[in-house]
Amino acid sequence: MPSIEERAIHRLNYGNWSLEKDYIAVESVLSIDIKSPTKLERWVSILRTPGNDEALIRGLIHSERVMTNNRGFEIEYGESSATILVPDESYQIAARGRISNGSACGICGRQDFSDLLNVVHQCELSQLNIDDEIIVNLPATMKDSQAAFTSTGGIHASALFTTEGEMLLMMEDIGRHNAVDKVIGQAKISSIEMHNCILCLSGRIGSELVLKAAAAGISVIIAVGAASSMAIDLAREAGIALYGFTRDGSSVSYNQPIAQG
């Protein structure tokens, strides 16, 4: 299934309507089941942009701590579904208030998310020293690689960078949480150590994205948008350096001590 499709639209320009074609980001359901030797159960149904589904699933498994061994399973795919084949019963699915999840945030639909908060409380992440010029330039570097956003204008991006500003990988998805899960999942597939990396986001910084970064051991988040109050509090708790409004040569640091000259 393609991630972008062409649709007919009517465009208004200076008082005149014209029939044109435009590129639209695809949004479709992916239902994920878990099958062990003794049972088959529905884990979650999410809306996502098709493509990099394995990275999405592995990232979501890692973010939600479904199992400790992220490689100890196989994935079978259907037309709009995936089944995770696990060798035993050593996985954990958080209780959810509803089965369907808009963008796989890891919190939406949960009856309790204290287990995810414990990830933050227990982590010991060290902040990295990053040159100011690298901080303000990372979103622009990421945007240069956002092919789907360039075509549609309606898709989020997430990227993993080194502290020297080298982009290791970038993922796009109509869900900003999915984009982060895809990056984390692909990093796990590619055996990239994330504790020395920077997570760059095309949108705002919500608490759920800080939790995903903490679970992956990422200690720096840089975003184009703002951070929420809980995101700032959780980042401080975890030792994650948080930068928002990073664009046009400027940035806002929410919890990083800045040397005064």
How far, in Å, CA of 34 to CA of 60, rounded?
A: 13
Q: Which of 105, 108, 197, 200 is catalytic?
A: 105
Beta bridge partners of 52: none
Task: Report how far residue 22's alpha carbon sits from residue 5's, in angstroms, rounded to the nearest whole number.
Answer: 8
DSSP H or E stretch at residue 117: helix 114-122
- Residue 105 bears catalytic tag: yes
Q: How far apart are CA 215 and CA 62, in angstroms?
A: 7
Q: How far apart are CA 42 and CA 48, in angstroms?
A: 17
Q: In what order do the strands lie in the sheet with 167-173?
A: 167-173, 156-162, 197-201, 220-223, 241-247, 250-253
Q: What is the 3-state secondary structure (H, E, C) of 125-166?
A: CCCCCCCHHHHHHHHHHHHCCCHHHHHHCCCEEEEEEECCCC
- Asked whether the beta carbons of 241 and 128 are under 8 A apart, the reply is yes
Report which residue type is found at 54.
E
Other beta carbons less than 10 A from residue 255's beta carbon: 17
Catalytic positions are: 105
